[in-house]
Structures are given as structure tokens and as C-alpha cells.
Amino acid sequence: MRRAFLADEIFTGNETLKGPVLFIENNIVSGILQPASLPSDITVENFPDCFIAPAFIDLQLYGGNGKLFSHSLNTESLDATRAYCMTGGCSRFMITMATNSMENFLKGIETVGEYLSSGKKGLLGLHLEGPWINPVKKGAHIEAFIKKPPRKDVELLLEKGRGIVKMITLAPEQCDDGIIHLIMDHGILVSAGHSNATYQQASHAFQIGVPAATHLFNAMSPLQGREPGMVGAIYDDTNVMSSIICDGVHVDYASVRISKKMMGERLFFITDAVTSISEGYYKHVYKGDRYTLPDGTLSGSCMTMMSTLKNSVEKAGISLEESLKMCSVHPAGLLKDPFLGKIQKGQTVDFNIINKKTLELVYSSFH
């Protein structure tokens, strides 16, 4: 099957091109061509006042459309989350489980493994956020499940989660170097978060190879004059990337903009999205522009990646091209996946068409 898409611009992930046509054959990008170069039998699908950009990637969300994965540990929950992601132009997501019982973690691994082996699309794997975090920076996490990592627990999760667990958020000051190396040696992306680390402790973790941090500013030691904390260590280490939540609630938009100036291509967006639920370990209450626990503790966002992009441009003042990169190119770079976050010849079709004026999603290739 051959199709061609014309918009005002195409952002490839590397550059913005004006006027060419995106030519697709058998779900593969055949080329980015001038209209006159297209085969004569192709009808061009025209999207005026729009641009084409790579589909978005969300490395941290917990569920969607009324299904919180850590409570509804089934593939239907993952289907609901994927559907939620797609409404916001996100074609790839990392389902996340916050600090939980070992029983639930193992069930989550089993369910994600079942989903991945079924051939369903969209799911990158499982992100375990905890339980090896600092209770001082627990945020909305359940303190009863927080602990320093016994080696036998780590080895069990690594064994059961082989090829399934792709990312683990931990507090480096709660884990010895051997544990961190063990996790990284299994090819898992370690991200520092929910941490009260000093600048020295955080810097040490980054120096031994921890490549990323989880939701900058939230649940981590702050940057202060006498103690730069984890935020200072993230700013200071030019090899470290970090996610950030651009909803104006978790982080002020000025802090997003300042961090972008400090970190450049090292900063990327996540939604940290949850969904309404009144039972189970994690109860989330919708409050209009956020979710909280029943006691009022901030617990997650109500964002999609599309609304994140809009906030970045209109409220944080980050350029459209850079905002697009933070939704796609940069998380793909952290994953070291050359097949995501770009539009280029030979690549599987994975793109959005977005209205230039309203920054609203018009079409997605992966629906």
C-alpha cells in the first residue's frame, strides 16, 4: 500500500523541511520527496496549516482511561493505557509501577511479558519506580514497601524481568555500587530518583554510570547554595539526562525553561500520568489539573504528551522544534534506539500531524 502526506513542514527529528511530501510504501518511509517527484498514480493527502513530526515517547506513566496498571494487573489495563497514550500522539510508552509489594511486581512482570509476547504494539517494557528509594523523598509512594535492596530481591526481579523490566528508578544513596552495577549489567536503564542524595552521592552515582534521573525537582534533594543536592549534580554532569513534568503543577514553567537552558538536549518530557481510582494501594483523586492521594499529596498528572508539547511551547516558552525533540528525539536517545524519534527513509511509519496554530493532534499514523 502506498500513501503520501503533504503538510506545510516536516520535522524529521533532525531538521525542519518546508513543502516536501512524506511518501509511504508498505508502512515504511520510502522517502521525503518534492511533489513533482512522486509517482503519478499517488493521491496526496493534504494537511494545510499543519506539520508532520515523529510520534511521541512516554517513559513514565501508570495507566489511563480508568485503569491503573499496578491495581489492574492485566493486559486490558495495558490496552487502556495505550489508547490513552495515542490520544496524545504517543506511540511508545513505558508502563510504570510505583513502589509495591514483591508479589505485585512479579505479577506486573508476568503481565507485561504476556503483552509483549502477544505482538501488541506500543509497549516498550516495564519501569519499576521503587522500592529502593529514600523514604524521606517518598512523595506519594507507600512507605511500608520502601526498603534498601536485599541482593536476593534484586536478583529475583532481574531473573523474572529479563527482557521485560527496562528501567528502574532508585535512590543511589540507598544502594551500594555493586547493586547498581548488577542492575546496569543486565541492560536495564537505571534512573536516580525519589532520592535525598547529597551532591557528592549523586555525582558519584552518575560517575559510575547511572545515565538518568527521574522527574527533575520532584522527590529529590534541591539545589541550594551550601548543598547543591541531586538537582545540582544533574545540572553539573553533562552526561546525565533527566525527565521533567511540564504541567505547571509538579514544576513551575519557569523552572522548566531554566532547566532547558541549563541542560539542553539532556532534558526530556514524561507525563507521569495516573488515572482516577478509589481502591487498592494507590488511590488517585482527580483535582482538575492534577491527581492527589486522598490526603492531598500530589500523586500524578492528568497530562498527555500532546498537552505537554502545548504547555512547553505556550507556557514554558521553549521553541516548537526543541519541544518536539523533548517529546520524541531525546527519550529515544536515552533508550539508544535508532529506530524511534525520527522520520527517515527505511524507517517504520510512526508520526503525528499537528495543527501549527492550535498545537492539536490532527492525525496519527499508528491509530
What value does the mean pLDDT take over residues 81-92? 98
Domain boundaries, the chain: 2-54+343-364, 58-335
What value does the mean pLDDT take over residues 103-119? 97
* Per-residue confidence (pLDDT) for residue 42, from 0 to 100: 87
Which set of grid coordinates corresponds to residue 247? 504541567
Decide whether 2-54+343-364 matches 58-335 in CATH topology: no
Alpha helices for the chain (secondary structure H): 75-87, 102-117, 151-160, 177-185, 199-207, 229-236, 253-263, 305-314, 320-327, 329-335
Q: Residue 93: is its pLDDT beyond 90?
A: yes
* Per-residue confidence (pLDDT) for residue 43, from 0 to 100: 86
- Rounded to an integer, what distance in angstroms lies between the CA atom of residue 32 and that of residue 344? 8
Residue 203: band (very low, low, confident or very high) from pLDDT cuts 50, 70, 90: very high
* Per-residue confidence (pLDDT) for residue 37, from 0 to 100: 83
Q: Residue 185: is its pLDDT beyond 80?
A: yes
* Per-residue confidence (pLDDT) for residue 190, from 0 to 100: 98
What value does the mean pLDDT take over residues 26-38? 89
In angstroms, how far is the first alpha carbon of the chain from the final one? 16
Fold of the domain spanning 2-54+343-364: Urease, subunit C; domain 1 (2.30.40)
Q: Please report, for residues 65, 97, 164, the alpha-carbon distance to residue 273 in angstroms, rounded to integers and kept in the order given.
A: 11, 12, 21
Tell me which residues are annotated as active site.
Answer: 272
Q: Are 188 and 125 in contact (CB under 8 A)?
A: no
What value does the mean pLDDT take over residues 206-221? 98
What value does the mean pLDDT take over residues 180-199? 98
* Per-residue confidence (pLDDT) for residue 213, from 0 to 100: 99
Q: Domain 58-335 class? A: alpha beta
The torsion defined by the Cα of 52, 364, 80 and 162, in degrees rounded to 10, comes to: -60
Alpha helices for 33-175 (secondary structure H): 75-87, 102-117, 151-160
* Per-residue confidence (pLDDT) for residue 35, from 0 to 100: 84
Residue 246: band (very low, low, confident or very high) from pLDDT cuts 50, 70, 90: very high
Q: Are 84 and 116 in contact (CB under 8 A)?
A: no
What percent of the chain stands above pLDDT 90?
95
User: 33-80, pLDDT tens digit by residue?
Assistant: 988 888 888 889 999 999 999 999 999 999 999 999 999 999 999 999
Give the lowest-confidence range in 23-32, 67-76, 162-171, 262-271: 23-32
Cis (ω within 30 of 0) for the bond into 131? yes
* Per-residue confidence (pLDDT) for residue 301, from 0 to 100: 98
* Per-residue confidence (pLDDT) for residue 195, from 0 to 100: 98
| Strand, helix or coil for residue 332 | helix
Give the lowest-confidence range in 17-26, 202-211, 259-268: 17-26
Beta bridge partners of 52: 10, 353
Which set of grid coordinates corresponds to residue 187? 541492560
User: 289-318, pLDDT tens digit by residue?
Assistant: 999 999 999 999 999 999 999 999 999 999
Mean pLDDT for the chain? 97
Q: Residue 367: is its pLDDT beyond 80?
A: no
* Per-residue confidence (pLDDT) for residue 131, from 0 to 100: 98
pTM greater than the 0.85 cutoff:
yes
